[in-house]
Amino acid sequence: MIEIVATFLLKSTLLLGLAGAYSRWESRSPAERHAVAFVAILALPLIAVGGLVIRWNIALPEPVPDVLGWASAAVAPAETATRSTWLIIVYLLGLAAFMISSVSELWATSRYARRLAEYRRSHEAVAGHGIRIKVDRCSSPWVYGARRPIIVVPEDFCTWGASRRRDALAHEIAHIRRSDWLSDALARFICNLFWFQPLSWGIRKRMQTLAERACDDFVLRRGADRYEYAETLLDIARHRRRESFKLPGSQHPLTDRIESILNRNAAREPMNANKFATTATLVLLLTCPIACVSVQGPEQPQRGEFRLLPTVRVAPVYPEEAGRQGIEGVVLVEFDITKDGATENIRIVSEEPPNMFADAAMQSAAQWVYPPLEERLQGVRSIIRFEMGDSDGPAPEGYQSQ
């Protein structure tokens, strides 16, 4: 269980680290960087299950030691099961806490939005879009919902200048067109599933910042004056400091937004469906090998293991074909030891070269006899080497954890 969690953290850290680095690439537009960050979070479940569905094993080329063996399946089974059980309990408790927090916040915000009064004045910016406008005592407009979105505006919205109202509504309409509310909700759900991965929360926060900047770019592409729009953001920030009510998640880095707004050379390309599909495909193509790769090095005996030698050791017969060709090799066998000391369920774990020494190794291991044991041992491993000039054959040895 610990190995599974550690492997996921390693692979997800690599993916999210690359996505985080891309999200800081200022030569790309905020909309494009937001899409990469979003798809990277969506790919976390693939990281979690990819290695279980399709595994791409890469063996490290370190030499195998002369004698190597252990009973991995029999290493303190009760202790291992207890440890895994506690890990699962801690994960489920954390998942429950984050899910309850998300659902309760969503329910509270939904209930609050439904009770708000309708904005009595119509506005051409939302006409024909099926978007409702409601009034709140907030300092700046905000959006709630995906299927039937609501734009909530401050109580003094009607006193704002015409251009300021138009730009503010255009910003919120951009959120709706981009489905930012839904993408943030999906990202939060996945972050809840993998709450133990801190980078996922950082990428989600970065998504929120990039979404705001992408909507700012939408407003500027529609012809808004960049200086007036930046002044509007500063006025809203000053008003927000004086108010006591704040919507959860309403804070966004203002300095980066204003610098981007005032930068005439900033990239402001939008993200359409075709570009998003291309971006998602590229990110998933990068994710698949990360999810499926499994690096395997030579396994080593663990601490606390002692040497378990057979009382009867029968050397393997060197295959005639291998002897004529002067071929040497090594076979890793795995077997169970009964209480009487006999070997059972003998199987080949690995063989080099393939299809040359397996039969001889299995026939040899089947004749080994170990001292009587108090309980049956499973998954005992031992390496058998076949070397030219070794008339007595290799000396099989094993290790068993205490």
Please state, rounded to an integer, the average pLDDT across all residues of the chain.
80
Q: Which of 71-85, 127-141, 150-164, 291-305 has the highest mean pLDDT?
A: 150-164
Mean pLDDT of 183-206: 95
- Cα(214)–Cα(222) distance, rounded to whole angstroms? 13
Q: What per-residue confidence (pLDDT) applies to 124?
A: 55
Q: What is the pLDDT of residues 106-141, one digit of tens each?
A: 999 889 888 888 887 655 555 556 688 888 887 788
Q: What per-residue confidence (pLDDT) applies to 309?
A: 78
Q: What is the pLDDT of residues 211-228, one digit of tens each?
A: 999 999 999 998 888 898
Using the predicted structure, report yes or no on whether residue 394 has a pLDDT greater than 80: no
Q: What is the DSSP secondary-structure string of 36-90?
A: HHHHHHHTHHHHHHHHHHS-EEEE--PPPPSS---BGGGSSHHHHHHHHHHHHHH
Give the three-class secondary structure for 122: coil
DSSP 369: B
Residues 6+ apart with CB under 8 A from 186: 41, 42
- CA 338-375-381 angle, 5° bins: 55
- Cα(86)–Cα(2) distance, rounded to whole angstroms? 11
CATH superfamily ID and name for 305-401: TonB (3.30.2420.10)
Q: Are 260 and 266 in contact (CB under 8 A)?
A: yes
First to last CA, the chain: 20
Lowest-pLDDT choice from 9-18, 57-66, 210-219: 57-66
Using the predicted structure, report yes or no on whether residue 66 has a pLDDT greater than 50: no
Using the predicted structure, report yes or no on whether residue 202 has a pLDDT greater than 90: yes
Mean pLDDT of 34-53: 87
- Cα(219)–Cα(169) distance, rounded to whole angstroms? 9
Q: Which of 59-68, 82-91, 138-147, 338-347 has the highest mean pLDDT?
A: 338-347
- Cα(346)–Cα(362) distance, rounded to whole angstroms? 7
Give the three-class secondary structure for 389: coil
Among 398, 396, 376, CA closest to 74? 376
- Cis? peptide before 353, omega within 30° of 0: yes
Among 121, 157, 162, CA closest to 136? 157
Q: What per-residue confidence (pLDDT) applies to 56?
A: 56
The pLDDT-based confidence of 31 (bands split at 50, 70, 90) is: very high
- Cα(5)–Cα(182) distance, rounded to whole angstroms? 28
The pLDDT-based confidence of 241 (bands split at 50, 70, 90) is: low
Q: Are 214 and 29 in contact (CB under 8 A)?
A: yes
Amino acid identity of 68? L
Give the three-class secondary structure for 315: coil
Lowest-pLDDT choice from 49-53, 282-286, 297-301: 297-301
Q: Are 38 and 206 in contact (CB under 8 A)?
A: no
197 or 148: whose pLDDT is higher?
Answer: 197
Among 319, 300, 320, 298, CA closest to 362? 319
Torsion of CA 195, 200, 202, 206, to 10 degrees: -130
Q: What per-residue confidence (pLDDT) applies to 125?
A: 54
- Cα(63)–Cα(68) distance, rounded to whole angstroms? 12
254 or 81: whose pLDDT is higher?
Answer: 254
Q: What is the DSSP secondary-structure string of 142-202?
A: EEE-SSS-EEEEETTGGGS-HHHHHHHHHHHHHHHHHTHHHHHHHHHHHHHHTTT-HHHHH
The pLDDT-based confidence of 253 (bands split at 50, 70, 90) is: low
Percent over 70 (pLDDT), the chain: 79
The pLDDT-based confidence of 303 (bands split at 50, 70, 90) is: very low
Q: Where in the chain is the domain with CATH 3.30.2420.10?
A: 305-401
Q: What per-residue confidence (pLDDT) applies to 72?
A: 35
Q: What is the DSSP secondary-structure string of 228-239?
A: HHHHHHHHHHHH
- Cα(357)–Cα(360) distance, rounded to whole angstroms? 5
Q: What per-residue confidence (pLDDT) applies to 180?
A: 93
Lowest-pLDDT choice from 235-239, 315-319, 377-381: 235-239
Q: What is the pLDDT of residues 134-185, one digit of tens each?
A: 888 877 888 988 888 888 988 888 888 888 888 888 999 999 999 999 999 9
Amino acid identity of 95? L
- Cα(300)–Cα(286) distance, rounded to whole angstroms? 32
Pair of tokens at residue 183: 């993408």
The pLDDT-based confidence of 399 (bands split at 50, 70, 90) is: very low
Q: What per-residue confidence (pLDDT) applies to 204?
A: 95
- Cα(214)–Cα(396) distance, rounded to whole angstroms? 66
Q: For helices 44-53 and 2-23, what crossing angle results, to 10°?
A: 140
Among 120, 121, 204, 132, CA closest to 172? 132
Mean pLDDT of 66-80: 41
Using the predicted structure, report yes or no on whether residue 304 has a pLDDT greater than 90: no
Percent over 90 (pLDDT), the chain: 32
Q: What per-residue confidence (pLDDT) applies to 129?
A: 61
Helix, strand, coil % (nearest 5) of the chain?
50, 15, 35
